[in-house]
Every structure is written in structure tokens, then in C-alpha cells.
Structure 1
């Protein structure tokens, strides 16, 4: 990971002197503007506390930042692949456009070739990049109390139906369905390994998932159906707290999470989740280890199912569970994220920053004993 090699101060110093040695090796994202740049960008340097550093352009985009129009980091990263370069130029000219494969073909490009090129350069397809960039703008507008029409325009959707459809795919409901009186509120949290959706009530965090996780719409649907009034848009205190704790986690300050959590699952499932939180950061366990720890040595498969049902990423650290042979096993957020999380936490243990946290009181269970 980036912080295994360079700390924040080193990277900020490189930004201040516009060091060409870091070209293509690190990017700076500015939280006060939502923009990411090359470290050689000629624009005035942001304050250190507003800077986050990433290894790749794809990580910047997944974290919800938009490319700088001055230093054009996307164009630089696309060099060497004519098809990617051509499509990125078109994207920079019309970032608000609702891009389709037909548009790619109209530019004289082969969709499958471009798809492979983008995956290689950015870790995502072009259409995924365009969708994330546009949808985030609309989400932020709604979270700030903006009107649906303003969110639609900020997201670059020409038609209300297109915006509602995209929003519905992410949250499972149209933005027009929000009343403002919902018990649960959803908001967007940026991170160095991708954007997350957090859902909280006024006292507890109910969900924390990466926006590209396939199970997210299903999990949100279960919460929406169980909670009085469904899910609205906004940031409540538990979301503020987990966002701050995640920022400290990725900044290298430690792996302690104290945000009150709501556990939705059967008693057995909750027992597994509580045991996950007892695994010290920097260490891993197998499913068999977990089964033994809760006094159910023959329940390895049930433990694996409970681990996979976790809907609070990172804070309930299901990423700390690996195969009995030491190999990485399935992770809803993607194995590449699992590896980065494990590597980061191992660096904490090495530096003596690991802080063990024993789970506290469980929050309200809107879903009863459903697993």
C-alpha cells in the first residue's frame, strides 16, 4: 500500500515541490473541493489537512473524487493506449453525458477492447467510471438537502427517469420517495479503497457497504422494509462518527472503531460478528478458528455464512477471516480490498498502533431474528 512506503508528510512535501519523481506513482485528492490531481499540478497547493493520497487514478474515482481539469490526471494515466486516450478525451469534454456502449462504438472503438484497457489502467470499466462520477454528484446534493431536480442536474442526467433509475439501482428506491421523516438515513463516505454507503438512525450504524457490492441493493431493501418510514438521505451522528474513525484508520492512526452498531441477524450470527470484532487488527483467523472460539467447532460452514452476511464492512472485520491454508477467501468488497485492509492492519501491528476493541452494547434490531 502507498502508506507502507510513503507517509502523509512525505507525499505532501512532494506535492509542495511538484516532484516529478512521483508522476504516475501517487495522486492527491482534496476533500475541500472533491478534486484529485497529479502531484505536479500547477494549481495552488491545498492545505495538508485537506489532502488524501492514492496510488492510482481508479482509487481516486472510486473514492468519489473528480479529475482536475488543469493537470488532467486521467489523460496522463491513459497514455500508451490510443483507445483509452481517445475515450478519456471524450469523457473530459462531456463528463455529464450518460455514456453507453453505443457511444463508444460511435467513436470508432471496440467496446470489449476498451473495457479491457480501462480495467488494466484504472481497475474499472469506462461505463462504471462515468456512472460513479455522475451519481456521486447527485447523492451529495440530496444529502445536503437539495431538491431532486438539482441532484439530477448535478449528476448530469438529462432525464428524471434516468436519474431515478440509476439512484434506484444503488439505494433501491427513487429519490422522490424521500419524505425527510425517515428513521434511517443513508449517506456517502469516501475512502482510499472506494466509496461506501452508510445507513444510520440517530444512535446506531445499521449498514456500511462499498457502493459496488452486488449485495448492497438487497441489504438496503431489507432495512427499508423493516424500518418505519424506510430510508432517507442525510448524515446522522453515527455516520459522522464512523466517517471520522475510517479517516483515522486509513490515515494510519489505528484500528479502533467505537461507533455504536445495530446487529441484524440471528443470535448465532450476532455471536459470530461479535467474535470477529475480538480479532486484533494485524491478525487473521480461519472459519474453523472462529467456530472453535464461539464453542461450536462443528459449525464451520454456518460461521462462513454468518461472516458473509455481515453488512457493516471494516468495523465488523470479516476481512480478517482467511482460508485454513492461509489463502484469501471470498470478500463481498473484492479480494483486492481484503488484501489492502489486511496489509494496512499488519502495518499497525508492526508499528505498535493496533488497539484492541471489545464490542459494547448491541443496537436496536429492526429485523428481529432474521438472518
Structure 2
């Protein structure tokens, strides 16, 4: 069911030809330099005896190779670069800071590059993200009973009128109205497969998706409508718990998740999701097998639709459902991620 690498000579010929057909499916480790590259890397090609091929970036990194700075094999999958990591950490460590382009220049960064990188990865610029983070802290103060002036100071706004204008512009309501409104809190979680967006209240998780999933904007709109809520940037205890469990999962320590969930689906759909959770980690099932497990053997297509409607990736393991012929099909986060998750779980349970 997975991509089987061709023989060494075929791969080496593809490397010399810089064949784009293997992009994402094959990587070359260069023993003489200790780096691994895409086969399309423009750098000088290694000798045969110095070349070793891998089907995933994870295998190459586990073998001790580091990613090439020239062809950036991790960026093929939208993985965040070092600049993203530094700025996201800075934002988390000092969310009250009022960032400007001058701050980026002082940090030795090019503002236009940072702008493009964040826009491509998250759909907002870094300065917009920093501003949303500040507003989120202020709204959180309001919704927990704080006074407007306290919320203004929490959000690091010097001007009351500026804070009120920011709240109205962001939420479509004034601070007094916001105090009575329900809010869900969104937070980015970094993973080896790229950034994920978690949306939770103080009791449970509502959504967990990769931020580059094309359907994510529509999913957020649907979630707002279903819950009659607005979504702001902030953490909750649920987010903190999820982040720990996700860390253990990607470190290969555990496939168990105790984070409470809110499942926005019909009785049938939630039954499919229960069946997905019943698939042991490290194993897969066909959609028809899932349909049989819920005593609806003729509902294979409906099961596939319910699988695709899942908005809580990994915790509701829709990646464990495959085609009847063993093929990887239909994963909103990208088939390469589905393949990675299945192999990751197989490795965990093959030790």
C-alpha cells in the first residue's frame, strides 16, 4: 500500500537527471556531507558510493542526516523554517509585545520575507498574528469578568479608544458586548508534519486540523455557526493538555489521548468516528470494514463521507481508514501525512 522505492541504479539515474517525479517520495542522503536532499537539488551530485536513498524525510533524519539548506527538503511539506520557529517562540514568550517591522530588522530578519513566510503558512502576517494574540488576551480578560480598562491593559493597548476600535474591528462588537459573548480559543501547535490549529473552550476540544488544509476556513465558519461563538487566539487548559499528549504521540511514546472532545456530527457520523477510534494504533481498516463494524455494511460511501467530515485530526484517527484495495485515499491534510501517520504508528507498535 505504500510507495516502494525503485532499485538503487534507477534512483541514482533520477538523481542525476533531477527527475521531479520522485519529489516527496524519495530522498538522497550524502555520506560525505551528512545532509539529505531532494533528487531535484541543484547542488553538485554526490558519487554513487556516497549516496543512500530513503522514502521519507523521517527515515533520512533518523539515519543521522540533516536537511540540505539549498533544496530544503522539509519545506516540500510546508514544515516551518527556523525563522518561523524563532518568531513563534518569541510571540509565545512575550505575547504583550507590540511588534513592528523595525523589531524584525533589529533581529536581523527581512520584514518582506517574514511577511510572505507567515502569509503562506498561516494566512496572516506575523504582525497581524501578534496583534491578534494581544487582542485575544484582552477579550479573555473581558469574558472572564474583567473590566474594560483591565482588558485594555492586558492587551497592551495604551489608548482606550484604540482598544475599543480593535475589538469592534476584530469581533464586530464593542467590549461591553464582548463581555457577554461566548468565545472559543484557537492556538497553533507545532508538529513534525507542520503547524496545526487547535480550537477549544475551557472544557473540550472542538477542532484540530493542519493549518494548510484547504477546507480549514470553511470548517472554522461552520464551527462558529454551530456554536454561535467567535474564535480568538488564546490558550485554554484543554489546549495545554492536548499539547502534552501530541508531544508524546509524535515522540513515539503514546497513542492514547484523554483530551475531552466535542464532536459536531450526526448520530451516524459519531458512530463512524467511534469505530475509527476502535481501530488499534498501528493497524488500518477499509471503509467497508468500518461500515461492517457499525452494522451498516452497505453504507461504505456514507462512512467515507463521515470520515472526511472529521474535524479533529489524529485524535479521531481518520488516517487509519483506507481503500478496499489497500490504497491511501482521501485525507484532507494530504496523503503524504496520512502515509507518515500510519507508518509512525506501525513503528511504535513494532518495537
> Is TM > 0.5 for Structure 1 vs Structure 2?
yes
Which protein shows a greater Rg?
A: 2
User: What secondary structure, in the 3-state scheme, does the structure 2 residue paired with 1:195 have?
Assistant: strand
Task: Report the counterpart of residue 205 of structure 1 in structure 2.
Answer: 205
Partner of 1:276: 276
Q: Contact 2:287 / 2:304 at 8 angstroms: preserved in 1?
A: yes
Question: What is the Cα deviation at residue 129 of structure 1?
Answer: 5.2
Contact between 2:118 and 2:125, CA under 8 Å: does it hold in 1? no
Higher relative contact order (CA 8 A, sep 6+): 1
Cα gap change, 1:314 to 1:194, in 2 (>3 Å):
same
Query: 1:20: how far off?
Result: 8.7
Please report how far the alpha carbon of residue 188 of structure 1 lies from its aligned counterpart in structure 2 after TM superposition. Answer: 1.1
Question: Would you say how many aligned residue pairs link Structure 1 and Structure 2?
Answer: 245
Structure 1 pair 215–67 and aligned structure 2 pair: CA distance change class (3 A)? closer
What's the counterpart of residue 175 of structure 1?
170
> Structure 1 residues 57, 332: closer, same or farther in 2, change over 3 A?
closer
Aligned pairs (5 A) from 1:169-248: 175-177=170-172, 179=178, 181-248=181-248
Query: Does the 8 A contact of 1:63 with 1:193 survive in 2?
Result: no
TM-score calculated relative to the size of structure 1: 0.56
Per-residue Cα deviation, 1:239-281 (whole angstroms, up to 9, x for no partner):
1111111111011112111111111111000000011001111
Separation in 1, partners of 2:110, 2:234: 31
Unaligned runs of 5+ in 1: 1-18, 28-37, 42-53, 70-90, 100-124, 152-163, 165-172, 352-371
- Closer, same or farther: CA 140–280 of 1 in aligned 2, 3 Å: farther
CA drift of 1:55 comes to 7.0
TM-score between the two structures when normalised by the length of structure 2: 0.59
Cα distance between partner residues in 2 of 1:343 and 1:255: 13
Matched, 1:56 2:48: no
After superposition, the Cα gap between the structure-2 partners of 1:59 and 1:251, relative to the gap in structure 1 and judged at 3 Å, is: farther
Q: Moved runs in structure 1, 4+ residues, more than 6 A?
A: 38-41
Pair 235,57 (structure 1): closer, same or farther in 2 beyond 3 Å: same
Q: For the residues of structure 2 that align with 1:130 and 1:232, how far apart are their CA atoms? A: 15
| CA distance in structure 2 between the partners assigned to 1:127 and 1:186 by the alignment | 17
1: CA distance, partners of 2:254 / 2:266: 30
Partner of residue 340, structure 1: 340
Quick one: distance in 2 between partners of 1:227 and 1:126?
A: 28
| Cα contact 1:64–1:195 (8 A) shared by 2 | no
2:84 equivalent among 66, 72, 97: 66
CA distance in 2: counterparts of 1:174 and 1:242, whole angstroms = 30
Deviation per CA, 1:260-304, whole angstroms, max 9, x where unpaired?
Answer: 111111100000001100111100000000000001101101100
Q: Is the 1:64–1:136 Cα contact (8 Å) retained in structure 2?
A: no
Task: Kindly provide the CA deviation profile for residues 92-142 of structure 1, in whole angstroms up to 9, marking residues without a partner as x.
Answer: 63445655xxxxxxxxxxxxxxxxxxxxxxxxx997259577365555555
Residues 141-182 of structure 1 deviation map (CA, whole Å, 9 limit, x = unaligned):
55555999xx9xxxxxxxxxxxx9xxxxxxxx9635484753
What does 1:279-318 correspond to in 2, within 5 Å?
279-318=279-318
Query: What's the counterpart of residue 120 of structure 1?
Result: none
- Write out per-residue CA displacement over residues 65-108 of structure 1, whole angstroms, 9 at most, x where no aligned residue: 62779xxxxxxxxxxxxxxxxxxxxx963445655xxxxxxxxx
Question: Following the alignment from structure 1 to structure 2, what is the Cα–Cα distance between the partners of residues 97 and 332?
Answer: 27
User: What is aligned with 2:254?
Assistant: 254
1:39-59, CA deviations, whole angstroms, 9 ceiling, x for partnerless residues? 999xxxxxxxxxxxx972456
Q: Residues of 2 paired with 1:195 and 1:244: CA distance? A: 15
Counterpart contact for 1:286–1:322, Cα < 8 Å? yes
Instruction: Give the SS at the match of 2:297.
Output: coil
CA contact (8 A) 1:183 1:227 kept: no
Aligned to 2:101: none
Aligned residues of 2:277 and 2:316 also touching (Cα < 8 A):
yes
Secondary structure of the 1:56 match is: helix
